[in-house]
Amino acid sequence: MNLYLLEGLAFCLYFASSITLIIDIKENQYKKLALTLAWIASVAHLLSLSLSAWHKQGIDFSFFHTAAIISLIIVFLLLFASVSKPVEKLGIAFFPIAALMLVLDALYPSSVKITQDFSLAMNVHILSSIIAFSLLTIAAFQALLLALQNNQLKSHNPGRLMLAFPPLQAMESLLFQMISTGLIFLSFSLLSGFIFIEDLFAQHLVHKTFLSIVAWIIFSSLLLGRKRYGWRGKTAVRWTLYGFTCLLLAYFGSKLVLELILNKV
């Protein structure tokens, strides 16, 4: 099957699903259709990445290709979560982002080191890092929605989109579930990194490791603060966004500078 055909199909269906979710806010009868479109789009997305990996005999970790992989994992996590939790409206933001990452990956191809060059242990480290970032990305968006929802409820003028989401308490509970799960994968990623990565300086990984540790401390402190001191609301939102910012800089800061600005691999 043609790679560009798959990417084009995924792109169109992601946007169709997002638009359908927006319409569902008012009509409240198109949720199933929106999720079906998203599932088909995600499968096309997965097939396109698999076909690319087959052609290259491995997965490259260039800037936009990594972003396309992470966006797919986020979409899958969101779709699986929507089976039991009313979080599908997050797709209004995530589905177009996934579509955009696919397009950018197609427009700016790269031949960065592929997974065949890595050991099984290193691939496990990379996979756990990607899953951790994906989960904590969802948590960051959840935190932003929580803040917006809280502000609108305080102003006594909530919009239709905010009313379409679960109550604040449920949203907050889901936020901490995402952070807890993401922190587990982040912990495993850091531990495996210290074990399997031999030379942090030669591999441009010093700042990534440092910022990841800072993010781990922030998220761990947030969970501890929630358990011991009942942290919630604005405090939870701020700490979540601080931690996510550190992770964003850790995961994509060096790639952006080295690949897109300095043109180094």
Which sequence spans correspond to the domains of the chain? Answer: 1-116, 118-265
pLDDT at 42 over 90: yes
Please give the distance of CA 40 from its chain centroid, rounded to a whole number: 19
pLDDT digits (tens, 9 = 90+) for 61-101: 777 888 899 999 999 999 998 888 878 888 998 999 999 99
Average pLDDT, the chain: 84
The predicted pLDDT at position 31 comes to 92
The predicted pLDDT at position 232 comes to 86
Please give the distance of CA 159 from its chain centroid, rounded to a whole number: 26
pLDDT digits (tens, 9 = 90+) for 117-135: 566 677 778 888 889 999 9
pLDDT at 187 over 90: yes
pLDDT at 178 over 80: yes
The predicted pLDDT at position 9 comes to 94
